[in-house]
Amino acid sequence: MGRRVTAVKAKRSTSALQVGQLHALPGKIIKGEIDVARLPTDTWVSLPVALVNGKYDGRRLVLCAGIHGDEVSGVEIIRQVLSQVDARKLRGSIVAVPIVNIFGFIQQSRYLPDRRDLNRSFPGSPEGSLAARIAYLFMRDVITQAEYLIDLHTGSDHRTNLPQIRADLTDDDVRQAAIAFGAPVMVHARIRDGSLREAATRRGAKVLLYEAGEALRLDQPAIRDGVAGVFQVLKHLDMYEYEKKLPERQPIEIAKSTWLRAGRGGLLRLSKGLGDQVVKGTQIGIISDVFGDSKRSVRAKFDGIIIGLTRNPLVNRGDAVVHLGQL
């Protein structure tokens, strides 16, 4: 009896991958830049872009980070993915843009110089503000080619996030990719107007938003889970076999979450951390005056898991201090 051959041999790709003025032949990785706009000094500012064109036919994945210029963990995730992926073994292609908001990155700021949020400026326009023009160019040159998009983010304003996928979990392709990513939690999140996620979804891309860690920090658990998650999705999309053993984790699904707010101003001392599971009524922290005489507890409003929290102990009454996902 002959051996049954069930595996279908991958088809060799013959097409070059093109983004802006960059192009990569099959089996090659190209790193370059695409021009965006001029600084007031007349200096051109450009986006760093990497093209990984697989040797074989397959899907197109876009990875991007730094839409908020101070969210640097995603930049590091993309660096590590690019250092490990081998284009000669890839089926399909990856377009990676590690710093979309290059102006914010230069200034170590979430925003653009005019305080606009790039992630509220999509799909953009060629005639609008700097934010609108960057969004337009990014959509035209990069996102129109995306079948899948992983958009990498961190917390803002001294807040840190448990590694989590936020996505439209009612879309089955998105849901399966979110499960494959294998972050500790996945959160069904409504789309925000003007976000890249909204604009890319309208263009037909399947979008995962990864939120993990804190702005202006290289958060190691966030980076580790992010790199593993990207490779898990590549495997799920039949694009790549990763040599290292990846953790197999079924994400906890969260349909509803709420921020617990400070009941008074003062100094916050948290007694629980990211990923801790709590039952309704559990004390998560105490806010007190400087002597500790007058206190107010922060308590869980329902049984849940801590998916975000503030790192800044100086709080005003009403500040969001702990993000609790309902279990």
The full DSSP string for 170-235 is TSHHHHHHHHHH--SEEEE-PPPTT-HHHHHHHTT-EEEEEEEE-TTS--HHHHHHHHHHHHHHHH
Between residues 67 and 205, which has the closer beta carbon with respect to Zn ion? Answer: 67
Cβ pair 274, 308 in contact under 8 A: yes
Instruction: Considering the complex, state which of residue 24 and residue 135 has its C-beta at the smaller distance from Zn ion.
Output: 135
- Closest distance to Zn ion from the beta carbon of 71 (Å): 5
Per DSSP, 80 falls in state H
Question: Which of 13, 48, 60, 68 is in the footprint of Zn ion by CB under 5 A?
Answer: 68
Q: Of the ranges 27-35, 57-65, 70-78, 299-307, which one interacts with Zn ion (CB under 5 A)?
A: 70-78
Distance CA 68, CA 73 (A): 11
221 preceded by cis ω (within 30°)?
Answer: no
Residue 60 CB, nearest approach to Zn ion (Å): 23
- Residue 153 as a binder of Zn ion (CB under 5 A): the answer is yes
Provide, rounded to whole angstroms, the least separation between the CB of residue 267 and Zn ion.
27
Q: Which stretch binds Zn ion (CB under 5 A): 60-68, 159-167, 180-188, 216-224?
A: 60-68
- We find the least distance from the C-beta atom of residue 154 to Zn ion, in angstroms, to be 6
- Whole-number Å distance between alpha carbons of 326 and 242: 34
> For residues 188 and 62, what is the distance between their CA atoms, to the nearest angstrom?
21
State yes or no: residue 159 binds Zn ion (CB under 5 A): no
For β-strands 304-310 and 277-278, DSSP reports them as antiparallel
Helix axes 73-84, 220-236, angle to 10 degrees: 50
Q: How far is the CB of 153 from Zn ion (least distance, A)?
A: 3
What does residue 308 show for φ and ψ, rounded to 5 degrees? -165, 155
Residue at shortest CB range from Zn ion = 153
**DSSP 3-state assignment of 77?**
helix
The one segment of 57-65, 68-76, 132-140, 169-177 that binds Zn ion by CB under 5 A = 68-76
Q: Select from 151-159, 245-253, 284-292, 316-324 the region that touches Zn ion (CB under 5 A).
A: 151-159
- The yes or no reply on residue 55 touching Zn ion (CB under 5 A) is no
The token pair at 45 is: 């500012």
Residues touching Zn ion, count (CB under 5 A): 3
Stretch of 148-156, 197-205, 219-227, 246-254 lying at the interface with Zn ion (CB under 5 A)? 148-156
52 or 96: whose CB is closer to Zn ion?
96
Pick the closer one to Zn ion by CB: 23 or 79.
Answer: 79
Summarize as ranges the residues that interact with Zn ion (CB under 5 A): 68, 71, 153
